[in-house]
Amino acid sequence: MEKQFKTIQESEVLLSELMLPSNSNFRGNVHGGYVLSLMDKIAFACASKHSKQYCVTASVDTVDFMNPIGIGELLTMKASINYVGKSSMVVGIRVESENIRTGEKKHCNSSYFTMVAKDENGNSAIVPGLILITENEKRRFIKCAHRLEAKKAKTKQFSKTDFDSAKYTEEFKQYNVQILA
């Protein structure tokens, strides 16, 4: 029987890949879409390890590309489960690049992928809970729980049925828009 609670360490995944000319964009750096695709793969691997099920990507939160990644640099991604719900898992991913010759490392981005476990019939599957050990693991879990609550509240605030643009008449004035009707 699958364990009911698992440590974060049990499903951590590390991926390193040398960035090749075939991964480049028109400026000669690594194409952002390529990095996103690697992030999706590592999120899948991490969530599948935790849940022992195949998973799908439900959402991706905040991918800020802080530094360009050069061709010939070694890209390293570290993924770990930050939060689990019933069938969903939030995988935190940190991406770093390293200059092979100098050893200089850059933090390129951090992001959160929400993955949902699916059983063999395609239904959402219950995932094991988390055993939180370190202060950092506890901090990440609570931070994530708060972020999800804030996201829910925002979705409700701007739902098509509840939204009333008249409430934002003053606020619109600070933006680069004209309101015509």
Ligand X SMILES: CC(C)(COP(=O)(O)OP(=O)(O)OC[C@H]1O[C@@H](n2cnc3c(N)ncnc32)[C@H](O)[C@@H]1OP(=O)(O)O)[C@@H](O)C(=O)NCCC(=O)NCCS
Query: Minimum Å distance from CB 114 to ligand X?
Result: 4
Tell me the DSSP string of 89-118: EEEEEEEEEE-TTT--EEEEEEEEEEEEEE
| Binder of ligand X out of 32, 68, 70, 85 (CB under 6 A) | 85
> Under the criterion CB under 6 A, does residue 124 sit at the interface with ligand X?
yes
> Under the criterion CB under 6 A, does residue 11 sit at the interface with ligand X?
no
**54-91: string of b/e by CB count within 10 Å (b at 16+)?**
ebeeeeeeebeeeeebeeebbbbbbbbbbbbeebbbbb
Residue (44 or 108) nearer to ligand X, CB? 44
Cα(165)–Cα(181) distance, rounded to whole angstroms? 10
> Under the criterion CB under 6 A, does residue 41 sit at the interface with ligand X?
no
| Binder of ligand X out of 15, 36, 45, 58 (CB under 6 A) | 58
> Under the criterion CB under 6 A, does residue 56 sit at the interface with ligand X?
yes
Q: Note the residues at the interface with ligand X (CB under 6 A).
A: 56-59, 85-88, 114, 116, 124
